Amino acid sequence: MKRRKSKKKEENFLKKNYSESWNYIKDSRKFIYSIFWIFVLFIVLALVIPIPTSLENQLRNFIEQLLMQTEGLSWFGLIKFIFLNNVQSSFSGMIFGAVLGIFSVLTAIVNGYIIGFVSLIVVREAGISVLWKLLPHGIFELPALFISLGLGLKMGTFIFQKKKVESFKNYLINSLKVFAFVVIPLLVVAAIIEGTLIFFVG
């Protein structure tokens, strides 16, 4: 009987926090959409504006170093690496967004530009049809990133509120709740899909 009550209590706790997290996401949608459009803009810029050779070399080196870190990893090791890397990027983009949302915007710019750059290289070397193979990699990862950065951007607006301390606490607590109940599950699924595709398909 106690076990049943405990299980029901746990289910209610999860359901309540999950529901509250999605409500907060809905309330923050304009910030999330802003991050999405900044991200898309810099993908387009990377695709249409030729970049300096020095910057291209730096991006290539960055990508090569990232690939070297995953070399020789097992299937589980690859999933773990992808998950931790995504968690770190999403969490830092959200938390440091408290500084006027600047870090959240910069993270969206950098990620958008890198994806645009990688897409450009892939199209050059293998044709536009290969981009469809890359699509499954971002189905869960990108929404998680947009949500995290959008909440970071919103958190940075606390400075413009009348009750600054209360607003900051409210934004922080709700953002952490969303991260735990929505973002992390999305990143777990993303890491499993991406790690499996890379390990078994290449």
Q: Is the pLDDT of residue 2 over 60?
A: no
Average pLDDT of the segment spanning 178-195? 94
Q: Is the pLDDT of residue 126 over 90?
A: no
Burial level of 28, CB count in 10 A (0-12/13-18/19+)? Answer: buried
Q: Is the pLDDT of residue 50 over 80?
A: no
d(CA 106, CA 35): 10
Half-sphere exposure of 162 (CA within 13 A, CB side): 0
d(CA 72, CA 59): 22
Q: What is the pLDDT of residue 30?
A: 97
pLDDT tier, 123 (very low <50, low <70, confident <90, very high otherwise): confident
Q: Is the pLDDT of residue 178 over 90?
A: yes
> What whole-number percentage of the chain has pLDDT above 90?
51
The pTM score is 0.88
